[in-house]
Amino acid sequence: MKPVSGKTAFVNARLLDPASGLDDLGGVLAEGERIAAFGPEVVEGALPADAEIVDCRGLCLAPGLVDMRVHLCEPGAEHKETIASAGRAAVAGGVTAMACLPNTDPVIDNDAVVEFVARRARLAGLSKVYPYGAATKGTEGVEIAEIGLLAESGAVAFTDGTRAVGSAAVMNRLLSYAASFGLLIVQHPEEPTLAGGDMNAGETAGRLGLSGIPPAAEWIMLERDLRLVEATGARYHAAHISTAESVEIVRRAKAKGLSVTCDCAPPYYLLTEAAVGEFRTFAKLSPPLRKESDRAALIEGLKDGTIDCVASDHCPQDADSKRKTFHDAEFGGVGVQTLLAATLELSRKGGLGLLDALAKVTANPARVLGLPLGRLLVGGPADLVVFDPHRAWTVSADTLLSKSKNSPFDETEMTGIVARTVVDGRSVYIGAEAFV
């Protein structure tokens, strides 16, 4: 992909920058791959003569979204998703950077696979891709992976992805070792011996005759890990917390001053276990969808800042992996393309200001991962999204660009649609309706 050398001015926009609290009419001038200027003064008439002008027609213009938890499925499961297909879905959703999980085949537990993913992402030339390195070799939870070398080759943080580091001894050493390099450990907080079920343990599971995964599976692991974090002084991020108790546990840990952050995925704050209905496998997620009281507590946690980020937890599964009995069906749902709409929903229904909600998918995940992204900054990368926050669309197999169509929001209407996505100054996506 050739670097962009010219100047592009995105004008006549509602300019939103969560990091600085900017919400004003204005524009962004990109020069090459970088932001040269932004603010109310970037208007037509006050631009360099050679600048190409994009009229945003009053739509929102914000830093591109940073989705800190996606499965790209490549290498190893290209029938479900590829780096290119996920990239197309991402930019259609305004996501300009993704952190991808190491649960591939082969696992991202050595620098060769990091290089492979980086090269494929460069070739796709869509959303930027930042791989997680495996925390343990093969994500087997036994031996610590070469996290120092992985970090040198570009891994942003370390996690066994969908698998929890179950052994307390391994986690203790991992946190200690990572702390010596200042590296971040991301955990799927779920005690494996309690996690054998198919959906949230409770009334619905009881009625349907499905095995339950109790909320305790999550908070036992969180409590354990946070004790170890306290002892080791490591940096720790809890992925996709799903229970009310977990919010409280993280809240207490933060009050203690521990170096802990966490995220939540849209299905957990927008849906409940009721979405399982009569064995609907698109609602089979890991962790499982919980109760209404959990959903409400997650919204509170997002509101008061206990939950730092919203990540899509994009997990593509092909039709055959979901068209099974609930027990046999795979866990997971796609989400990278619905992340923006789900974040706007958080603002509308959760009572968060638009900037506060957008911070959860821009500046905050960038800060957690230590990436120079997710904000408007002169000299920073021109990664931008132009969107209409009021326009509705229906999530369906037709509208989703991911190779897999397993959205827990399938056949529902979401509000907020992307008009244009810009990565390093290049427009990589222009909405089909082309209003901009």
Partner 1 sequence: MTPDFAQRHLLGTRSLTAPEITALLDRADRYAAVNRSADKKLSVLTGRTVVNLFYENSTRTRTSFELAAKRLGADVVNMQTGASSVAKGETLIDTAATLNAMHPDVLVVRHQDSGAVSLLSQKVNCAVVNAGDGKHEHPTQGLLDALTIRRRKGRLAGLRVAICGDVLHSRVARSNIHLLTTMGAEVRLVAPRTLCIPGAESMGVEVFHDLRKGIADCDIVMMLRIQNERMSSGYIPSTREYFRFFGLDREKLAAAKPDALVMHPGPMNRGVEIDSDIADDVERSLIREQVEMGVAVRMAVLETVTRNLARELGQPWGTEA
Comparing CB distances to partner 1, the nearer of 3 and 209 is: 209
Least separation in angstroms between residue 109's CB and partner 1 is 31
> Of residues 326, 387, 409, 429, which one binds partner 1 by CB under 8 A?
326
> Of residues 323, 394, 397, 411, which one binds partner 1 by CB under 8 A?
323
> Of residues 20, 325, 394, 396, which one binds partner 1 by CB under 8 A?
325
Find out whether 3 and 48 touch, Cβ atoms under 8 Å: no
Residue 279 interacts with partner 1 (CB under 8 A)? yes
Chain centroid offset of residue 51 CA: 33
Residue 292 interacts with partner 1 (CB under 8 A)? no
DSSP code for 101 = P
> Of residues 119, 256, 324, 349, which one binds partner 1 by CB under 8 A?
324
- Catalytic site includes residue 313: yes
Least separation in angstroms between residue 329's CB and partner 1 is 10
Q: Which of 109, 198, 225, 313 is catalytic?
A: 313
> Of residues 39, 138, 154, 202, which one binds partner 1 by CB under 8 A?
202
Give φ, ψ of 113 to 5 degrees. Answer: -70, -35
Least separation in angstroms between residue 404's CB and partner 1 is 17
Cβ neighbours for 181, distance < 8 A, ≥ 6 positions apart: 147, 148, 151
Comparing CB distances to partner 1, the nearer of 39 and 202 is: 202
Find out whether 102 and 66 touch, Cβ atoms under 8 Å: no
The two tokens of residue 116 are 């492979």
For 223-289, give the secondary structure using H, E and C: HHHHHHHHHHCCEEEECCCCCHHHHHHHHHHHHCCCCEEEEECHHHHHCCHHHHCCCCHHHCCCCCC
Find out whether 270 and 264 touch, Cβ atoms under 8 Å: no
> Is residue 342 packed enough to be buried (19+ CB in 10 Å), middle (13-18) or exposed (0-12)?
buried
Residue 117 interacts with partner 1 (CB under 8 A)? no
Least separation in angstroms between residue 215's CB and partner 1 is 12
Q: How far apart are CA 122 and CA 5, in angstroms?
A: 18
Cβ neighbours for 371, distance < 8 A, ≥ 6 positions apart: 66, 97, 130, 156, 365
Residue 328 interacts with partner 1 (CB under 8 A)? yes
Residue 201 interacts with partner 1 (CB under 8 A)? yes
**Which segment (147-155, 251-259, 325-333, 378-386) binds partner 1 by CB under 8 A?**
325-333
Residue 288 interacts with partner 1 (CB under 8 A)? no
Residue 320 interacts with partner 1 (CB under 8 A)? yes
Residue 285 interacts with partner 1 (CB under 8 A)? no
Residue 209 interacts with partner 1 (CB under 8 A)? yes
Find out whether 194 and 213 touch, Cβ atoms under 8 Å: yes
Residues engaged in binding partner 1 (CB under 8 A) = 201-210, 212, 278-279, 320, 323-328
The residues carrying an active-site annotation are 313
